[in-house]
Structure 1
Amino acid sequence: MKLHEITYGLRQILFEPHNRAKIQVSEPEQKNDYLVIDSLKVKHKDFGEQVVPFNQGLNTIIGGRSSGKSILLGCLARLCGDFTPIKKSKSSYDDYIADIVKSMSLDWRDHSETGNRKVDFFPQSYIIDLATDKKKISELVVRILRSEETFNEKLSEIKDFLLEQTGKIRSLFAQYKSVKQEKEVLYEELLALGNKQGIQQEIDKIKCGMAELKLSMLEGLSETEEHDYELKKEQLADFERQKKRAIHDIKVLDGIKNLRLLIDISDKLFDLDKPLSDIIEKSYSQLCSEASEAWKKRVGTFITQQEEKIKDLEKEIKFIEESSEYRKAQGLYAKNQEYMGYADKLKVENKRLENILQKEKNIEGRGVKVYPYISFKHTEYIELINRYLDGRASVNQDVINYQYKNSEEYTAFIDSVFDKLYSRQYILKRGIDIEEAVEHVITFNGFAINYNIQYQGDDLESMSEGKMAFVILRLLLDFSKSDYPILIDQPEDDLDNRAIYAELVRYLRIKKKVRQIILVTHNPNIVVGADAEEIIVANQHGINSPNPDEIKFVYRSGALEESFKNNNSNILLCQGIREHVCDLLEGGNAAFQERENKYHL
């Protein structure tokens, strides 16, 4: 049986039969000793010398305004190693607590003192601040989901995918810049080469002149010899092209011989044990070295093949050039300087035409596409754009005021921004490098994993702040797999009364069986409705509420069923815990009455 003493304790079992009495061999609802705060000891001028005991279940701290309730809870948090600010925008409050804890010690039920131990601490207004901050809600959901192994695996997959895609985009952009520079050079060369139509007309004119000259060159070459000479010239031209291509390929292969094949994994090892991390890093480094050497060897084989090909081609070229038929024809044609002049001119014009055709082919169709997905990070996008673009320029307003609609539309938008940046249609801030601006825009991951939370058919964003705060509190209490103590300061400030009684009380009843809960409250429904095992009454010394020896802050604890009144001048000792609950908490009598009427007692 869970009771304080016989007289009123047995009566409490009638009020709470399911929670106050068990028939079994072992004591129910026992928690691990290292997860239970047993007591707090303090010896300080503002507190005197006190010991504040705690129960392993639900502990509620009550009292009038500025009676030291939040101070006590804040000291518990600090002694456990949690340095979350106790009061928003009140650094002096935190400074005061930092001074007090120097004179305090925390005893855990495993007989160890103080020392940093994990607790969940939610200071005043923490829950409503969290409920109205989308980013913090997402962080909370991720924190809870991280306790699931499958979630961590999927999250790692997504992170790896994003890193891989960002790397690909950077690589493609580097290629794009190279191609763009090539393209600009090609355009300049194309203009320098002349008009394509004019060159073709010139070629036709030269051919006519050469044909007329050939009729006069009848001294020495038969039709068969002339035909063989033309074939050999074509063969020579083809061998020269192959040789040139092979030389080009060797340069390309030589450039990729020292490529880094494997990614750096050091940032993925930080969660591992240090010795294991060192072993893996060493093994991975060795693997990288082996792969690099194997790659160099493989590429070297391809280079050797191309070098052998060049040697073979040079032999073929030499064989043709030194053949008697070719040399005879060359000699005859060389005698006719006018014909050779035509031939050289034809060669130049043909080369120009070939260059124009090749450059036109190279200029066609160069583009990069980016396909982002998931939800858009608008704030980060604005920060990025403002870093590079002049916000005062009217031509920049479409990109500065952009509003995300969907991934397809965003893709088209980024394509447009990409083109306009490169064509200098946007005005950049002074000193900004356009290449840097473009690279950061196209590699910006503007998408994040967000979480839509629903409760009773409503989306979180459509709820009232009170209901929203309760749902967040439920996430904190009901879905966490942690079993260390929970410290909460006045959760009712964020919730409406109906939610407190109907929902919060029910969750406190459930959670206190598996986790120690210590909370500050002004609401009697939490104290009485949740059947708190320990009620700690706080009092600040005053004319109408004197403490012994005029000590500033004094605490007294006891069970809910403790009830009496006497003439003691000490405000905390002149009545029982039940009477303190009724005096200090508005609606306290009604809460007790509702509890007792539940079973018509």
Structure 2
Amino acid sequence: MITKINKGSEWRKWNFHVHTKGTNKNDQFTSSSTEDFFYIFFKAAFDNKVEAIGITDYFSIDRYLEALDYVSDIYNKENATGDKLFTNEEVVFIKRIFLFPNVELRMLPATDRGRLINIHCLFNPEYVPHLENDFFGHIENQDGKKMNRHGLTDYGRELGSSLTTDEQRYKKGIDSFVIDLKTLKSVLNKNKNFRDNCILVVSNSNNDGASAVQKHYDLFENEEGSLDGLRSSIYKISHAIFSTNIKDINYFLGKRLEGTDGYNEEIYKQEVNDVIRDRGSLKSCLVGCDSHKESTLFNKFTWLKGDLTFEGLRQICFEPEQRVKIQTDKPDFKEDKVVIDRVKFHSPNNVFTPEVIHLNQNLNVIIGGKSSGKSILLYSIAKTLLPDNSILLNENGEEKYDLTSLDSDFNFEITSRAGISQKMFREAGENSIIPDIKYIPQNYLVKLAEPEVNKKGRPLNKLVRDLINEDDDSKTKYDNFIRNVKQYDKGREELIDKYFELIDDTESLENELKTKSNKEVLETNIASNTKKVEELNKAAGLSTEQLEEYKKIQERQLISDQKFTDFKSDFESIKISLKELDKVAEDLISGKNTLLNTLKLNSIKSYYEDKLSAIDSLKDNISALRKELKIATNEEGEKSFIEENPFKTEQNIIESEASAIDLAIKPFQQNEEIQKQITVLNQSIANDKKLLSEIDSLGKQITDKKALVQSTHEDIFKIYEESHNEYVNIIAELKDRTLDLEKDGLKIEGISQFNFPKLYKNIYEISDGRTASYNNYPQILDNKKKSTTECEFLSVKEGVLTVFNHIMDGSYALLPKINKKHAIKTLLDDYYFDYWKITYKNDKLGEMSTGKASFVILMLIIGLSKSKSPILIDQPEDNLDNRSITKDLVYYLKNKKLERQIIVVTHNANIVVNSDAENVIVANQKGQNNSESSSEFQFDYINGAIENTSPIDESETDLLKSMGIREHVAEIVEGGKEAFILRERKYGFH
């Protein structure tokens, strides 16, 4: 027995048009026998993996019946030595091939080259017993001759009187028989059984086709064009076209103008309506190999998405574009690692069915009655694969479904198309095989759409940002942006600290300056004491020349003393600064190492490792300089530098100079009494000059500090602006990630937004409410402003600067416990954020209805997600109006399923039917509906394609097995029957 794996509608190679040995016209097959031919035929089908074949012949199904006979006995086919002709694998494949008859007809009117038009009747194999009565016995040529074997033989006898056998007369009849379109239309119109079991395909080549596309441009411009009514009628009764011409394909799908300037949705709708009006319906273009010899068998094929049944084939009438592709590679490519192939419940207590549930790579819908286990299945998939289970929890923090309470030994297993399996309950540390799936639980969308109502809903802006950053390149850019902003935050904090340190230093210097003597008093005292020293020196008997020399020596002494003072000051400054620089160098090394550790390419890493090695050298140099300044103390308590350095050299010079001055000054200090007075006066002069120098130095320091305060103030607002520019830049860099959504009418505009409420709250908390200074700055401090209120950076900066200045000058009243530095840091905190404004077809997200907003959020989640892993959605229609479902959601799912596997729980027929779901999973819980089931499992599931149809079998007691998938949809899903009818009429097919 051959086990069939049912994954719903799958892409398979179909060959709609292939002749076999003995074909009624142009038989070029060279095989010695029919048996030999079919061996070659089915070997070629297996080698080319063709799974559906239309066995074609002119006015006959005899060759089709021969093929069926051959396959029915394929297990027993042997060669002359008794060896099996086919391997087991080949037998299994060939037995699964869907064989169907293709009766090729010729009809008037003739083509431009005088050839007859070929039209093909593709029949349901189950309808074959009725063909003689419903088809061959009714179709006539213009002479009234029937198309059945008797009629063709009679017609051949009339045309060739010299023919001696019925076989010769039959062949002659076939060569000359041309059907009458009128009788074919009559059969179609009168016989519903015929209509339901036949697909008509017309050739569209210049040689043997109606060739509408070559003429349709003129036709649309002039309704009196050259295509006559009879030829037009052929198109209207046809369901598909034999053609590989891209113009044909686009025209019959209503996409002739797609890709041209100004093409839009309205033009497409008009084209569709025009094709339906003039051709009866939109149509797929098909191709077959049309082989008349062995060498061309299956060298052409068509990809068709559907069950290997006639119902599967009929789907091309309802979905002419998405169900058919003419190309080499299999359509809708998805990597094996991101496709769930099958799932299975492990339930030893038979609560859940143990049967494997197969999934399609495109759209899977789960339907069922209330509490039938629809959401449990979706939840189980999500719980097994999601690394973060927070989205699986209810608002109370508990799991939505406690599956082990239903079956204590419960488990759930998922197998990817790559063949890797994983269970829900597994070893800790075993990573998910598909970790980046998207799971959208029931009511999740509305929580995002109504954040005021649903306080626990995840912030929408963060969701959009996270989705944008699913792209590796975008995430790298955003991570760098965050790192830069944090650096700016740190730099701003440091500058504010420095700003207040400078202010404190300035105030200290000003206070110190106030303790110094008056500059004019000091200068007067110096002049007076200098004059007294001169007089005392004269009194000591020093000549004019000696006095002059003595004066020079005293000046040398003052300079030497000042140099020693400067020496001590420089030493302390260098020691402190080198310590600070050593810390900076350590930070630079840490930053360098962090950078190098993030680099992936060795060539890039090596280059920057070399170029930034100077940072390590800098650290070494600073450490060496600090070491040079170390001082040792000997046993006598004398201190000296351990290593050679400029200070040691300068110290030796100063000490040597002091000794020389002491030696030089002694000859002028003979009179002890006078000398004592001179010493006192000189000391006073030295002290006064030192004070004057300190006053000048303090004045200069105060001026320099005030300049630094101002420049630091400017740096603070410069870094404030640079931080804001980071938001502008990252938004510009991420813009490309949102452009793809615009084709769906969805626009995301990034804005650098200011959080006015947060600033107001923080400033309000540190302000003196009695004075309420915050009311004086509506430009930035307004409790009515929202975080989404439009803002201009320069306006915000101007307002912040004003408040900054008023805090500093004390005119802004703060709470007594709040100091100015804290207030400034609060004011200058980073209140900017990247805000993503969303519009859909010119409607702003915040102004949409909840239903429409929910759909737009769904579009965001799917459209922005860079991952190609499955999307799981639980009842997306719950908050959508019917128009949004039929117009927006259905269209969106039909397109997105081509890119990613989608699994949807739904009770809406439009999502099931008009999204053309490839796989329908029907869920049932025993005792939860009016129909009892004999299934031994509490929760049971079955799956298949929507074209899987079979009438309800009253004798089948297992509910899920008692009808086809189509019947389940019609019975379970409200409006299911109407949805099927709407789908069939959508593109003009009735």
Q: Do structure 1's residue 96 and structure 2's residue 483 form an aligned pair?
A: no
Give the one of 948, 960, 966 matched to 1:562.
Answer: 948
Q: Secondary structure at the match of 1:449?
A: strand
- Deviation string 1:210-269 (CA, Å, 9 cap, x unpaired) is 536745753434445444444443443334333332332233333344513124257668
The question of whether the paired residues in 1 share the 8 Å contact of 2:337 and 2:417 is answered with yes
CA offset at residue 595 of structure 1?
1.6
Aligned to 1:113: 421
- Runs of at least 5 residues in structure 2 that lack an aligned partner in the other structure: 1-303, 424-431, 452-457, 630-643, 728-752, 786-790
- Runs of at least 5 residues in structure 1 that lack an aligned partner in the other structure: none
The question of whether the paired residues in 2 share the 8 Å contact of 1:487 and 1:517 is answered with yes
Aligned to 1:28: 331
CA offset at residue 15 of structure 1?
0.7
Mean Cα displacement is larger for which, 337-346 or 413-422? Answer: 413-422
In 2 relative to 1, CA 333–394 (structure 1 residues): closer, same or farther, beyond 3 Å? farther
In 2 relative to 1, CA 376–238 (structure 1 residues): closer, same or farther, beyond 3 Å? farther
Aligned to 1:243: 564
- Deviation string 1:437-490 (CA, Å, 9 cap, x unpaired) is 469648844333333344444554454444443333223223433222111112
Give the one of 305, 311, 315 matched to 2:646.
Answer: 305
CA offset at residue 310 of structure 1?
3.5
CA offset at residue 75 of structure 1?
0.6
Mean Cα displacement is larger for which, 30-39 or 531-540? Answer: 30-39
Amino acid at match of 1:264: S
CA offset at residue 76 of structure 1?
0.9
Q: Report the Cα distance in structure 2 between the residues aligned to 1:246 and 1:213, rounded to whole angstroms.
A: 29
Provide TM-score, normalisation by structure 1.
0.81
In 2 relative to 1, CA 521–417 (structure 1 residues): closer, same or farther, beyond 3 Å? farther
Q: Do structure 1's residue 41 and structure 2's residue 426 form an aligned pair?
A: no
In 2 relative to 1, CA 131–50 (structure 1 residues): closer, same or farther, beyond 3 Å? same
Aligned to 1:448: 833
Amino acid at match of 1:110: A
- Deviation string 1:304-332 (CA, Å, 9 cap, x unpaired) is 22432333343334333422xx4445556
Q: Report the Cα distance in structure 2 between the residues aligned to 1:383 and 1:468, rounded to whole angstroms.
A: 30
Q: Do structure 1's residue 412 and structure 2's residue 801 form an aligned pair?
A: yes
Q: Do structure 1's residue 162 and structure 2's residue 485 form an aligned pair?
A: yes
The question of whether the paired residues in 1 share the 8 Å contact of 2:420 and 2:433 is answered with no
Q: Do structure 1's residue 362 and structure 2's residue 738 form an aligned pair?
A: no
Q: Do structure 1's residue 144 and structure 2's residue 454 form an aligned pair?
A: no
Q: Kindly, what percent of the aligned residue pairs are identical? A: 27
Q: Report the Cα distance in structure 2 between the residues aligned to 1:103 and 1:145, rounded to whole angstroms.
A: 34
CA offset at residue 545 of structure 1?
3.8
- Deviation string 1:359-395 (CA, Å, 9 cap, x unpaired) is 3443441534323225445676578669xx6688546
Q: Report the Cα distance in structure 1 between the residues aligned to 2:921 and 2:550, rounded to whole angstroms.
A: 113
The question of whether the paired residues in 2 share the 8 Å contact of 1:67 and 1:539 is answered with yes
Mean Cα displacement is larger for which, 513-522 or 545-554? Answer: 545-554
What are the residue-to-residue correspondences of 1:117-196 with 2, within 5 Å? 117-118=433-434, 119-131=437-449, 135-147=459-471, 149=473, 151-152=474-475, 154-176=477-499, 178-193=501-516, 196=518
Q: Report the Cα distance in structure 1 between the residues aligned to 2:578 and 2:960, rounded to whole angstroms.
A: 84
Aligned to 1:398: 774
In 2 relative to 1, CA 286–559 (structure 1 residues): closer, same or farther, beyond 3 Å? same
Aligned to 1:428: 817
Q: CA RMSD in A?
A: 4.4
Provide TM-score, normalisation by structure 2.
0.52
What are the residue-to-residue correspondences of 1:195-214 with 2, within 5 Å? 196=518, 200-201=520-521, 203-204=523-524, 207-208=527-528, 211=531, 214=534
In 2 relative to 1, CA 285–200 (structure 1 residues): closer, same or farther, beyond 3 Å? closer
- Deviation string 1:130-175 (CA, Å, 9 cap, x unpaired) is 45669543453344345253x4554354344334434434444554
In 2 relative to 1, CA 46–502 (structure 1 residues): closer, same or farther, beyond 3 Å? same
Q: Secondary structure at the match of 2:622?
A: helix
CA offset at residue 77 of structure 1?
0.8
Q: Report the Cα distance in structure 1 between the residues aligned to 2:821 and 2:498, rounded to whole angstroms.
A: 15
The question of whether the paired residues in 2 share the 8 Å contact of 1:396 and 1:427 is answered with no
CA offset at residue 561 of structure 1?
2.0
Ranked by relative contact order (alpha carbons within 8 Å, sequence separation 6 or more), the top structure is 1
Aligned to 1:254: 575
Q: Secondary structure at the match of 2:661?
A: helix
Q: Report the Cα distance in structure 1 between the residues aligned to 2:477 and 2:806, rounded to whole angstroms.
A: 33
In 2 relative to 1, CA 65–226 (structure 1 residues): closer, same or farther, beyond 3 Å? farther
What are the residue-to-residue correspondences of 1:324-339 with 2, within 5 Å? 326-329=665-668, 335=674
Q: Report the Cα distance in structure 2 between the residues aligned to 1:585 and 1:391, rounded to whole angstroms.
A: 62
In 2 relative to 1, CA 461–271 (structure 1 residues): closer, same or farther, beyond 3 Å? farther
Q: Report the Cα distance in structure 1 between the residues aligned to 2:876 and 2:852, rounded to whole angstroms.
A: 12
Q: Report the Cα distance in structure 2 between the residues aligned to 1:352 and 1:225, rounded to whole angstroms.
A: 29
In 2 relative to 1, CA 30–256 (structure 1 residues): closer, same or farther, beyond 3 Å? same
CA offset at residue 416 of structure 1?
4.6
In 2 relative to 1, CA 8–344 (structure 1 residues): closer, same or farther, beyond 3 Å? same
Give the number of the structure whose residues are more often helix, by fraction.
1
Aligned to 2:49: none
Q: Secondary structure at the match of 2:898?
A: coil
Larger Rg: 2
